[in-house]
Structure 1
Amino acid sequence: MSSKDGDDPDGSAPDLRILGDEVSLQPSGFIEPPEGKASNKNERRLRKRDESEQELMGRVPRFRTNPFLFLRELSLYASGTGWRGYDKVIGQPVFYEGFSDHMKGMVIEHPILQKCIHEMAVQWTDRLEQEGWVAPKEGNANYEAEMKWWVNRNISCYHDKVDELLDSMICKFESKRFIRGAYYLVTQLLLRAYHQGIHVSSEEVLNLRSIAEECEKRKKSIVFLPCHKSHVDYVAMQLICYRLGIALPTVVAGDNLNFPAVGSFLQHAGAMWIQRKFDPDDRLYVQTVQAYIDTLLQNGYHFECFIEGGRSRTGKLLSPKFGILSFVLDSILSGRVEDAVVCPVSTQYDKVIETEGYVTELLGMPKKKENLVDFVSGGSSILSLRLGRVDVRFQEPWSLRKFIDDQLGRMQKMPRGLNLNLSNPAEDKQVKRRLLFTLGYKVLSDINSVSVIMPTALIGTVLLTVGGRGIGSHDLTLRVQWLVDRIRAKGGRVAHFGSAPLEDVVSRGLEVLGKDLIGAVDGIMEPTFYAVDRFQLSFYRNMTIHLFISEAIVCAALYPRTKRIVGFTPGDMAYADLFGQALFLSSLFRAEFIFPGEGLTANLYKALEGLEKDGILDLKRDGEGNIEAVTISEMEKEVELENYDFYCFLLWPFTDASWLAALSLVGLTPPIGVSSDTWIEVSKAQGTAQELGKMIYQQGNLTYIEAVNKETLKNSYQRFQEEGMIQITRAKESNQPPKLRLTPSWHCPRDEKTGELQGRGKLWDFISKISLSRREGKHRRDYATVRARILSQVDAAGRKLFEDALRTQKSTKLEVDERVESTPKYRRKMADRNPKL
């Protein structure tokens, strides 16, 4: 590798440029201009470089423009010339005839799967004996032979079933000719849509290659754990591994994508199909999955699964999903696998292809099932798109065994060794759950730490965090530069575009986002931009929020002292009051955001000091240096709280969403004469909350349309359940939907004569506490009138839910303590039915 520019004065790692067979370095990050070249801090320039050098993979030749180069390139792939041959791969051998049969044979012979098959065969044989298929032992001279025959027959049947499961499950790395053709085809499609290519950090890639070489020697697997925003995620990951000569990982994929033609193509390119939802009591399927993952890790095959499970429809990281991760952890804890190397991966986009579909899903439309027609039509439509670029970043890989050892060492009751076969199964399960939880959130934190903020995310964040209808082009550039400085001060990364002027970068970002998301007002003194589709644009704003969540919570907690009501002047807020509101908000959003790992007190104090350093807040201290009170600084008042408002604007849509979710609970207070033991379907309650939100948004009592968001409302309901505000039931029948009720102690009082809901009680106090940090506006000043109208609307929506529930209640009669999962009686009853619990 060669560097054309020498060391980057900014100190950040250069990007890797792969253009054909050429590999070189290019500078990364926003670069300070030479002294004297820029008179204003907010008018700094980026280092000049030709646009083509910013692509990880150069544009592939097209037949129309250059048929000779097109045919030449195609022949190079067909013949497997040079790196295209994929012959010198770092990792275990893949892409050879018989790979699938070899893998199936290893999985079927795995001890845990063989043990499971034998036990199930014996259990089934015992059942056959009880049903009279085998003559009783007394007086039956052939009893042992008959039983043995039935056991062997059942074992054979289970083997056939496992063979069938594996055939549809395992990836089929069979042909190098296939993967060369697939790489060429996918590159053609991807680089037409993302015309500025794929970018990686050279430092990270070189480190990854070095670790891959060490893993190859020690026969260890690299477990790639990427975030998931788009179907392009796994495509980009496979392309990078192929181009850099690293053995392709086996990618865990939901079988919803396993439809004709496409499913087979993906399976031969590395997809491992699993059921999106499978019964944990289906021992054969569970142990087959575990045996397959064990086999991959024991033999040093690279492995990839998405830490969030499904794609994030909101732009920010989702809470970790522990399904596949639990299999990987169990492989190490049991000692069946010595170690694996974990590599968190961040994939960021200038524009995500699927965001328009995400919006319809978040607004309540059912997710459309994948099919070949949509896949083909979608693939053809992206050929004309210009979506900017993709940035992939790799966190420093780390040993999973060492992580487990460190975590066990911190626990008060440290189990002996890694094999957690404790005498107390409950303790064993608790330790594993804690390890899994810590592992999941560590990976998410690692992903956030290496994520690159794209220009479109900068623009989207600025447009959604300014007051007024829009922002002029000059102020837009200034605010983008301010945001860049804040991101870099927080240790975040910003995507670079060589040394192009920031105005050009902003202009390019506006072009990628397009007129459907951002409108422009021309014909006036200065071009002015405004958000056309706030909901879709919020996807890009949410890509930055993880960097500023602590500051946003501090500013929102201070907001009760800064609301712009006529005649009100921002004043001091006692530190104890600020801390109490910040603690409340942090708990409220625990399921929504990935917080820094230092703890609330440390995060709060660090955020306050940062806001003081930036001249936004003044901290008043006592003689010992302890903070007594917090207020807006005079410097910030001079700019009309512009920077302070930025942090509030980041959190306000989520505050509105939590307020809406809590408000919807008021309607779950049973009408007079209706039993408090009436249960509502969870999906219907959340759907009604969405419809309520859409209505009060149009009426001006909800500020942000993004608050009417299925995922955010779902997260709020999850928090309400954890706090005991609602109770959720799950019936024995799997086809019965979960139901909920409002815990009686959280009911709002009703007028005994009219039956109308009253704005009082424990739940209303909770809602009022959220309201303290909601954005104030003229539509909320007439508070008494607004409260009466909203309560009436909420009550009407709730009554419809109860009417529907009462019509179906007769068919689902269950005792309360049998249905509430959190009650001791429920747990005892389930333990009696199933000893495994």
Structure 2
Amino acid sequence: MLDISREELMEIVVSKVFSENDITRFRGCVARSISGMAEKKREKVFKGLSSQTLETILHGEINEEEINEELIRRQAEFYADQIAWNPSRALTALGKIFVSAYFHSMFSGGSTLGLEKVQQHKDKTLVYMVRHLSHLDYMFLGWKLGTNGMDIPSFAAGLNLFANPIISRTLKGWNAYTVDRGNTRDILYLKVLAEYAKTALEKGIHMAIFPEGTRSRSGKVLVPKRGLIDSVIAAQQNGADIYVVPVAISYDFVPEAPFFALDTAKSMQNGIMARFGNLRDFFTPGNNLLVSFGSPYSLGDYLSEQKSTNQRDLSKNVAKHFIEGIKEAVAVNPSALVAAAIGNILGLSRNIYPGFTVSESWLYDEAARLIDHFNNVGVRMDPRLENNLLLVIEEGLRPFVKQKFIRPSNEGGAEKQYCVVEPKIIIYYANTIRHHT
């Protein structure tokens, strides 16, 4: 990570917001923000103003006409402070040691595809466009990069994850910056956030971005949200030398999947289980994951090939291109293969209901057909799929059987059958590679 301090970055961001915008347009949103602040926070943010002005602010009696440049600057500085990372070499080093030791002891670790090509571009400003299935995505991306001699990128995380001071300090120490998704109508906040991401990239800070904007509840790759993508384009147009790296993490077991697929996340949205899912079952021996890196490419070269001069159209095209890159990077692992095979069988027979039974031979034939198809069209595959197909199927079934989403049986010595107890879960995992099938 480059040697630019948190304070320097914040100062540059606020200065750019003021020099490049008509600040009078921010008066309304600042007045509303001040009125909505808790009194203690107002006192902290606007400390040092004249006693009369501070008294007015503290009692929430300020209106749009009374918002001057100093108040707008204070509000911008508050947003910059809320957003900004606070990198710590000590926390990063400790995190590498702890995460590596914990991951290797608690589950079967993980592997990578395509990392060697990324390492060849480590001197560039790298923007990782990452598929978003789990809150753990960034942790595993950072782990695989950090333990292979690469800088850990900065990344955006929802403000709700920073409520606990210890977690907040840890995340910011690991290069996280915050995004307040509930503040998307405040144009000053959006300007500060966009300028923060743009300035960080211009300073050569690597960044991980989730272009889908949220975790996929269905397992499918979602349509992109422009958000920070506009900042990436602006940084490149302003002289940054950005290389884009598509990334997709394939999990044997996605911790949040049961809550998303079974529609229980809303009822648990304030709990740790809704945020991180079933971590107990995730961190068990046998579980694995694959971090698949697409080939890095120059964003400058891609932009130079675009015919549209309209910035909005350009942004849409770039966002779509990023998503297509992510889709190509998605690798098929055993659990996704088994789910896709069962999903195809369920779809073909139009019997998508709990209790549907699939025979081992039926599952074997469909899995073999899918592997042939993936090989023919050049889909990335987990190296484990090179094993004997019966072993691959057994590996793919394991997380579903463990969670009792599938129940195996071979009563009377007949051919083994698999009863699908929770078809929505199976469809979720099938959806993770649906674009390949």
Between the aligned partners of 1:301 and 1:166, the Cα distance in structure 2 is: 17
Report 1:326-475 matches (<5 A). Answer: 326-332=230-236, 335-361=237-263, 366=266, 368-371=268-271, 381-382=280-281, 385-386=284-285, 388-408=287-307, 411=308, 415=309, 431-466=310-345, 467=349, 469-475=356-362
The secondary structure found in structure 1 opposite 2:121 is: helix
Distance 1:345-1:367 versus aligned 2 partners, 3 A rule: farther
Instruction: Measure, in 2, the Cα distance between the counterparts of 1:351 and 1:299.
Output: 37
Alignment match, 2:109:
197
Rate the CA distance shift 1:503–1:177 in 2: closer, same or farther, 3 A.
Answer: same
Corresponding position of 1:251: 155
Report the alpha carbon displacement of residue 367 of structure 1 after superposing the two structures with TM: 5.6
Counterpart among 265, 271, 274 of residue 179 in structure 2: 274
The residue aligned with 1:181 is 94
Local SS of the residue matching 2:217 = coil
Partner of 2:119 in structure 1?
Answer: 209
Partners of 2:83 and 2:179 within 8 A in 1: yes
Note the alpha carbon deviations across 1:510-556, whole angstroms, 9 max, x for none.
Answer: 122225211112223121112111001101111232123xxxxxxxx
Kept in 2: contact 1:121–1:155 (CA 8 A): no
- Which of the residues 405, 409, 424 maps onto 1:535? 424
Q: How many residues align?
A: 391
Change (3 A) 1:297 1:496: same
- Once the two structures are superposed, residues 388-409 of structure 1 have per-residue CA deviations (whole angstroms, 9 ceiling, x without a partner) of 211111111222222222112x
Counterpart amino acid of residue 495 in structure 1: D
Shift of the 338–493 alpha-carbon distance from structure 1 to 2, 3 Å rule, reads closer
Superposed counterparts of 1:729-744, under 5 Å: none
Quote the Cα distance in structure 2 between the aligned partners of 1:122 and 1:391: 48
Which secondary structure does the structure 1 equivalent of 2:384 belong to? coil
Q: CA, structure 1 residues 498+283, in 2 after alignment: closer, same or farther (shift >3 Å)?
A: closer
Q: Deviations over 1:326-355 (max 9, x none)?
A: 2222334xx434442211111111111111
Partner-residue secondary structure (3-state), 1:309:
coil
Q: Matched residue of 1:511: which SS? A: helix
The amino acid across from 1:180 in the alignment is A
1:324: Cα distance to partner? 1.5
Partner residue in 2 for 1:664? none
Residue 464 of structure 1 aligns to a residue whose secondary structure is helix
**Structure 1 pair 376/447, CA: closer, same or farther in 2 (3 Å)?**
closer
Higher relative contact order (CA 8 A, sep 6+): 2
CA shift, 1:319, in A, is 0.7
Paired residue secondary structure (2:292): strand
1:101 aligns with 2:7: yes
Give the whole-Å Cα distance in 2 for the aligned partners of 1:183 and 1:161. Answer: 36
Match of 1:325 among 223, 229, 239: 229
Aligned equivalents of 1:173, 1:293: Cα separation in 2: 15
Paired with 2:372 and 2:431, the residues of 1 have a C-alpha distance of 18
- In structure 2, the residue matched to 1:287 is 191
Pick closer, same or farther for the CA change 1:295–1:233 going to 2, 3 Å: same
**Does 1:167 pair with 2:57?**
no
CA RMSD of aligned residues (A): 2.9
Which TM-score applies when normalising by structure 1? 0.44
Match of 2:405 in 1: 517
Question: Structure 1 residue aligned with 2:433, among 525, 533, 544?
Answer: 544
Work out the CA distance in 2 between the residues paired with 1:370 and 1:387: 30
Q: Taking structure 1 as reference, are residues 123 and 294 closer, same or farther at Cα in structure 2, changes over 3 Å only?
A: same
Equivalent residue for 2:167, pick from 251, 258, 262:
262
Question: Contact 2:156–2:179 at 8 Å: present in 1 too?
Answer: yes
2:217 to 306, 310, 313: 313
Is the contact between residue 459 and residue 509 of structure 1 (CA under 8 Å) also seen in structure 2? yes
Give the letter aligned to residue 171 of structure 1: W
Alignment CA distance shift 1:512-1:100 (3 Å): same
Unpaired runs of 5+ in structure 1? 1-90, 125-150, 216-220, 416-430, 549-837
Structure 2: which 5+ runs fail to align? 30-64
Note the C-alpha offset of 1:443.
1.4
Q: Report matched runs for 1:438-837 at 5 Å.
A: 438-466=317-345, 467=349, 469-497=356-384, 500-515=387-402, 516-524=404-412, 525-548=414-437
CA deviations 1:178-237 (Å, max 9, x no partner) are: 1122223333444455x2221112xx2222111112x2xxxxx21111110111211111
1:271 shift after superposition: 1.3
Q: Which amino acid aligns with 2:100?
A: T
TM superposition shift of 1:278: 3.0
For 1:493 and 1:432, how far apart are their aligned partners in 2? 33
Query: Does the Cα contact within 8 Å between 1:259 and 1:372 map onto a contact in 2?
Result: no
Q: Indicate if the aligned counterparts of 1:457 and 1:541 stay in contact, CA closer than 8 A.
A: yes
Q: Structure 2: how far apart are the matches of 1:238 and 1:181?
A: 13
Structure 1 residue 480 displacement after superposition: 1.5
2-structure distance, mates of 1:392, 1:358: 22
One-letter amino acid matched to 1:233? D
Task: Tell me how far apart the structure 2 counterparts of residues 373 and 457 of structure 1 sit (CA, whole Å).
Answer: 23
Percent of pairs with identical residues: 20
Distance in 1 (CA, whole Å) between partners of 2:228 and 2:108 is 34
1:375: how far off?
6.8
Deviations 1:372-396 (A, max 9, x none): 69779965x3476346211111111
Contact map agreement 1:113 1:291 (CA 8 A) in 2: no
SS in 2 for 1:492: coil
Q: How many Å separate the matches in 1 of 2:255 and 2:364? A: 26
Deviation at 1:448, TM superposition (A): 1.5
Closer/same/farther in 2, CA of residues 301 and 392 from structure 1, 3 Å limit: same
Preserved CA contact (<8 Å) 1:316 1:543: yes
Which AA in structure 2 matches 1:164? Answer: F
